[in-house]
Chain A
Amino acid sequence: AVQLVESGGGLVQPKESLKISCAASGFTFSNAAMYWVRQAPGKGLEWVARIRTKPNNYATYYADSVKGRFTISRDDSKSMVYLQMDNLKTEDTAMYYCTAMGDWGQGVMVTVSS
């Protein structure tokens, strides 16, 4: 069965950095584009970032709200996808989900507060 397990969330102060991770299993990870989607408390879903596969040069795409601050990356040898979040803002507070759009992890909470 497909499993996506996020880790690395927590409480940080504004302007700080945090890197969250997602461990994938149960499918051919290297063939799958991967995404991060977030959900602020009590709010809807917001797509954050996408990374394509090696044949597509690991191309990356970002929502305007995080462009220049967040970096998505992947390690196919470990079936891992990452989201490096820099210069965090209070409005980045959310549950962050790792997804291949069909399957989703359970999410990791990131709280940005002073």
Chain B
Amino acid sequence: DIQMTQSPSFLSASVGDRVTINCKASQNINKYLNWYQQKLGEAPKRLIYNTNNLQTGIPSRFSGSGSGTDYTLTISSLQPEDFATYFCLQHNSLYTFGAGTKLELK
């Protein structure tokens, strides 16, 4: 089974900051990596699919990159509505979520 190691678990930042969240797979996942945002009490929302494809309707301040085993979600300039929990998901071999990154207001 593929394991996903997501870091950091917690991240404190301010409005306007640039932040990055990382996911490392235990083996090559061939860019089959999605990113999701989840707010308290809500269902997850897909932001990015297959490493770097922006979901329709998602602001361009969100971007994804990576290859092989290492992947990154970048938010270029944090907005108040971005404070949430973020998860990665590999779908190269079955499905494994990262443990999540809680992004909090500093």
Contacts and interface: CB of A to CB of B under 8 A. Distances in A.
A58 interface: no
A102 B89 CA distance: 12
Interface stretch (B11-19, B21-29, B40-48, B60-68): B40-48
A94 to B, nearest CB: 13
Contacts of A101: 34, 46, 89, 91
A102 B44 contact: no
A45 B87 contact: yes
B43 A104 contact: yes
Contacts of B96: 47
Contacts of A102: 46, 49, 55
A44 interface: yes
A9 interface: no
Interface range on chain A (Cβ under 8 Å from partner): 10 to 19
Given A44-B87, A45-B87, A104 B95 contact: no
A50 interface: yes
A45 B97 CA distance: 6
19 contacts: A35-B95, A44-B99, A44-B100, A45-B38, A45-B89, A46-B97, A47-B94, A47-B96, A47-B97, A50-B94, A50-B95, A61-B94, A63-B94, A64-B1, A101-B46, A101-B91, A102-B46, A106-B42, A106-B43
A97 interface: yes
Contacts of A35: 95
